[in-house]
Amino acid sequence: MPISEDLSEVVGRTVSGNGVWHAELLPAINDDHGGVIVEMEEHMDTETFLTMLRTSMLQWKQQGKKGVWIKLPIGLAHLVETAVKTPSTIPANATHRVGVGAIILNDKREVLVVQEKSGILQGTGLWKIPTGVVEEGEDISVAAIREVKEETGIETEFVEVLGFRQSHKTFFEKSDMFFICMLHPLSFDIQKQELEIEAAQWMPFEEYAAQPFAQKHELFRRINELCLAKVDRSYAGFSLQLVSNFSDQPSFLYLNSKDLGKSRSGINP
């Protein structure tokens, strides 16, 4: 919750008739982000909690604290309504989830594919490219390499982002960004992950693309088209370029280096 309580209202509730400040504060410890954490343990009635909360928020505001996190055990559930009545200005949780899919072809024009043990594709017999979710603090290129290694044991190096899809109201009602990456294999002996992967293999691309589901589902068709365009028609995706952001921390800019190079050489207007 924010520290934005009106000071006059707080003072009016916490100063006695003789003007002596006497209200107690809620038990709190500092967190790592300029706020405080309140862990309630002792029984307390609603009115006492409200008084102590208002008094505490006044002091925390004067101290420049940025937010308050209140932890209530089930035995103090009656305090939840009081705690949440104060409008919160703390940003909501993440609005997007970022996923990656990895296209890996070997010299025989075979694509690395898997069958999953869980999820909506479980038991369908569908062969698909390795996919996964980008972890906090992880680059897209690193996530694609990691997911392939975890699911199949295959070592790879990042080549390009071929394209990406944005959708909304998906996983936990969040928006979803899905990046389709092309990777180059550095090893070829598959060692599938037993927990999540039912099967993994190198499959001729034409056989993979001819699967009825892959023909029917537009996203799968588009991914196959991107793959063919990259292999057969010199399609230029987005390669990575190391740059520094405003905080001087390194980051990656994904760009079309092929056409950028043409423009620099004067081939393109």
pLDDT category at 19 given cuts 50, 70, 90 is very low
CATH number at residue 134: 3.90.79.10
pLDDT at 253: 87
Please tell me whether residues 56 and 127 are part of one structural domain. Answer: no
pLDDT category at 261 given cuts 50, 70, 90 is low
pLDDT at 265: 42
Question: Which one of 84, 109, 125 terminates a domain?
Answer: 84
pLDDT higher than 60, residue 7 = no
Please tell me whether residues 142 and 198 are part of one structural domain. Answer: yes
Domain-embedded: residue 250: no
Question: Which one of 36, 52, 84 terminates a domain?
Answer: 84
pLDDT single digits (tens) 46-95: 989 988 888 888 888 888 887 888 999 999 999 888 888 876 656 666 78
Pick from 77-86, 213-222, 238-247: least confident: 238-247
Domain-embedded: residue 17: no
* pTM over the 0.75 mark: no
Please tell me whether residues 77 and 133 are part of one structural domain. Answer: no
Domain-embedded: residue 252: no
Please tell me whether residues 176 and 210 are part of one structural domain. Answer: yes
Please tell me whether residues 120 and 191 are part of one structural domain. Answer: yes
H/E segment holding residue 77: none
Domain-embedded: residue 149: yes
pLDDT category at 38 given cuts 50, 70, 90 is very high
pLDDT single digits (tens) 94-117: 788 899 999 999 999 999 999 998
pLDDT at 11: 37
Domain-embedded: residue 265: no
pLDDT category at 231 given cuts 50, 70, 90 is confident
pLDDT higher than 70, residue 118 = yes
Pick from 100-104, 129-133, 154-158, 225-229: least confident: 225-229
Domain-embedded: residue 142: yes
Domain count, the chain: 2
Please tell me whether residues 190 and 108 are part of one structural domain. Answer: yes
Domain-embedded: residue 257: no
Please tell me whether residues 37 and 143 are part of one structural domain. Answer: no
pLDDT higher than 90, residue 172 = no
pLDDT category at 269 given cuts 50, 70, 90 is very low
Please tell me whether residues 219 and 134 are part of one structural domain. Answer: yes
CATH number at residue 54: 3.40.630.30
The mean pLDDT of the chain is: 83
Please tell me whether residues 104 and 38 are part of one structural domain. Answer: no
Domain-embedded: residue 249: no
Question: Which residues span the domain enclosing 75?
Answer: 7-11+24-84
Please tell me whether residues 72 and 175 are part of one structural domain. Answer: no
Please tell me whether residues 126 and 208 are part of one structural domain. Answer: yes
Please tell me whether residues 104 and 227 are part of one structural domain. Answer: yes
